[in-house]
Amino acid sequence: MIRLTNTINAWGTPGFEDILKGEVEQLDADQLPLQQALSTSSHVTDSQRTVTIIRVSDGENLIHIKAGIFYSGIIAGCSCADDPTPIDEQNEYCVVQIDINKQTAEATITLLEE
């Protein structure tokens, strides 16, 4: 379960978006739907991710955020000694919907088809 406690604590302040971006960028790659969004590679790397906030809206119980995530992937080879596949990182991008419960700070992150 993902909890974005610092983000909820910053809700309504000028630093909200920066804190949200920081918390999402620090999540483990497997907590985000990055693998499902790959378009030019086959495996998500642990490289730094960058989050861009597209839209924030206030619901009764939830904060709704549409965000873009820039990240990297690789084309995984067979790891054989004579495998000619280069280990070059490929740039990837996806758009996600983040819904944060205002009371519990629990967040759900869903891949959007854009």
**CATH code for the domain of 106:** 3.10.450
* Distance from C-alpha of 92 to C-alpha of 49, rounded to nearest angstrom: 10
Threshold 0.85, pTM exceeds: yes
Mean predicted lDDT score pLDDT of the chain? 92
The DSSP string of 2-65 is: EE-HHHHHTTTSTTHHHHHHHHHHTS-GGGTTHHHH-SS-SEE-SS--EEEEEEEEE-SSEEEE
Per-residue pLDDT tens digits for 54-110: 999 999 999 999 999 999 999 876 566 666 666 788 999 999 999 999 999 999 999
Q: Coil, strand, or helix at residue 103?
A: coil
Predicted local distance difference test score (pLDDT) of residue 98: 98
Query: Which structural domain, as residue segments, surrounds residue 73?
Result: 2-112
Instruction: Look up residue 79 and give its two tokens.
Output: 């790891």
Domains in the chain, number: 1
